[in-house]
Structure 1
Amino acid sequence: MTTIVIHITQNLATAIFQSTKMKMPSFLHSFPPRSFFFCCFLLLPLLLLLMLLVAPSSSAAPNQKVTVSLYYESLCPYCADFIVNHLSSLFQTGLISIVNLRLIPWGNAGIAQDGTFICQHGGDECFLNTIEACTITIYPEVVQHFKFVGCLERLTLEGKHGQWDSCFKKTKLGSSPINDCYTSGKGKTIEQKYAMETDQLNPPHKFVPWVVVNNQALEEDYQNFVTYICKAYKGNVIPSACKSLSTTRTYDSNEKVNSFQSVCYADMARNVTLA
């Protein structure tokens, strides 16, 4: 009977070594049966721990954050309203803990053949788009740059966007790095990348704000972005902000919508050629 147990233990040890892609040391074959038996009992806990450490985690994928990308322009009043009065709820409800929020301030702008930026709401918008792009890049922590963007967009809603630099004091972010980013031309380079990304959207954006959740464009249903976030999240712990929502809604592109939409349409930029 003891011989049978020893053989079973030896076979189990061999199987464990093979499953972990390890070659069984040759010295184990030279152990006397009884010594090998006790050795295996000593080694098995260690080997099982090793298997747990090298095994791929099955819980990593379900807990990945939901990526939310907002394509917008700084002086579109509907973009400003969405950022200040709707998107900010991600932070107020704690839903930001499951969201990778990306802000892309370009919107319906374009680049002329000579490299000049052309923006739907004029030169001030081109300037402020770049300022926001610099802030997002220099202060990559979403809580930091969203406070600045939210501050600036609130001024847009109030018709006071000319006071944009007051947001440095309100958010306690340094103004020098942002100003240097703009004057050095780095901001223009960032905006060119945003222009490329916006131009490559599939489907192409028709207006702003244009919201994309995990590569799904919400189109006219963008104000229901929280529902889409909750539906896309595959984590084990459901955020409280999602528990009271129905996540069965999907956008039907054939569904009729109101002729008036709270958006800034992209028609103005259709004839502008990207450099």
Structure 2
Amino acid sequence: MAPAVPLALLALVALLAPGLGVALPGCDYPAHLWCSSREIAVACQAESRCANLSRPAAAPVELSLYYESLCPACRGFLVQQLFTTWLLLPAEALSITLVPYGNAEVGAGPTRCRGRSPRRCQPRLDRLVPQERNVSGKWHFQCQHGPEECLGNMIETCLMHEAKNFSTYFPVIFCLESGSSVTKNLEA
């Protein structure tokens, strides 16, 4: 003889079954994804079943990182802090723009300190050299950490341009930056 199923359990299944796995018109997602985002929950008419659906309290934090591909401090921040934070936060909480360009200008002269604390020293604005120059219609770049850094910056910029999707190119940039050499990591 088969075990008896409690009447209350049968009633609960009868009430919930119509919306547990049956795709509604306009819903092209399997039931296990219905509560993964607000857009999917709305499309699948499952908002009332998604109690844990987070509601954004504010606009995403926008962060632009201007970095140099061979700068040890930039690489450390990108690999050890920014990438891991990006992995932990929901996509709608943080919007990141990466700019592998480095310093906009490179100081060519001493600073003006004249007895001031190092925090108050000002670079000699009359001796700043632009990082890029147009020479006879051709752009020349000078990177703080040398020609290999310029190549690394260009590689990462091209990757971003071609991949277009941040979620696609950021893990690749993480791999390039976390290895021993950004440009040589491409050979691996």
TM-score by length of 2: 0.50
Looking at secondary structure, tell me which structure has more helix per residue.
1
Distance 1:70 1:95 in 2: 19
- Is 1:98 equivalent to 2:93 in the alignment? yes
- Is 1:152 equivalent to 2:176 in the alignment? yes
Q: 2:147 aligns with which of 108, 115, 123?
A: 123
AA aligned to 2:133 is A
Q: CA deviation at 1:128?
A: 1.1
- Is 1:72 equivalent to 2:67 in the alignment? yes
Q: CA deviation at 1:62?
A: 5.5
Contact 1:90–1:96, Cα closer than 8 Å, also in 2: no
Q: 2:76 aligns with which of 77, 81, 90?
A: 81
Q: CA deviation at 1:89?
A: 2.0
Secondary structure of the corresponding residue to residue 165 of structure 1: helix
Q: CA deviation at 1:140?
A: 2.1
Distance 1:120 1:70 in 2: 17
- Which digits, 9 at most, give the CA deviation of each residue in 1:217-251, with x for residues without a partner? xxxxxxxxxxxxxxxxxxxxxxxxxxxxxxxxxxx
Aligned pairs for 1:51-70 (under 5 A) are 63-70=58-65
Distance 1:61 1:161 in 2: 36
Q: 1:135 aligns with which of 149, 159, 170?
A: 159
Report which of the two structures shows the higher radius of gyration computed on alpha carbons: 1
Q: CA deviation at 1:88?
A: 1.1
Contact 2:86–2:94, Cα closer than 8 Å, also in 1: no
- Which digits, 9 at most, give the CA deviation of each residue in 1:124-179, with x for residues without a partner? 11111011011112212212111111111112xx2x33423146xxxxxxxxxxxx
Question: Which runs of no fewer than 5 residues in structure 1 stay unpaired?
Answer: 1-59, 168-275
Q: In the alignment, which residue of structure 1 is the partner of 2:18? A: none
User: Relative contact order (alpha carbons < 8 A, sep ≥ 6): 1 or 2 greater?
Assistant: 1
Contact 2:176–2:183, Cα closer than 8 Å, also in 1: no
- Is 1:111 equivalent to 2:132 in the alignment? yes
Distance 1:118 1:69, change over 3 A: same
Question: Which runs of no fewer than 5 residues in structure 2 stay unpaired?
Answer: 1-54, 105-130
Distance 2:77 2:166 in 1: 17
